[in-house]
Amino acid sequence: MKLKPLKDRVLVKYAEEEERTKGGIYVPDTAKEKPQKGEVVAVGSEVKEVKKGNTVLFDKYSGSKVQVDDQDYLVIKEEDILAIVE
């Protein structure tokens, strides 16, 4: 299945988080925080500043989580993106 965001929406694939802390302790999935960084997979027709392939930072509780083919994505408004990672 393919998703195409509408208007000012952006489809973001969550960035993979490390499973260990700097001290070497493994962190279980239930204790992990929701990621705040991801890669832009697709953009809507009215998106101006973000492009496909950009790595972006977004607010922890913004957007709507969707799952496609066992992969988690976030559909978010362009205005909720805090920064582009360069």
Q: Which CATH number fits domain 9-16+25-85: 3.30.230.10, 3.30.465.10, 2.30.33.40, 2.60.40.2220?
A: 2.30.33.40
Model pLDDT, residue 24: 74
Burial class (CB within 10 angstroms; exposed 0-12, middle 13-18, buried 19+) of 40: buried
Model pLDDT, residue 23: 76
Give DSSP secondary structure letters for 56-78: EEE-TT-SEEEEETTEEEEEEEG
Model pLDDT, residue 49: 95
Give the global pTM. Answer: 0.79
Encode pLDDT of 39-86 as tens digits: 999 999 999 999 999 999 998 888 999 998 888 899 999 999 999 999
Which sequence spans correspond to the domains of the chain? 9-16+25-85
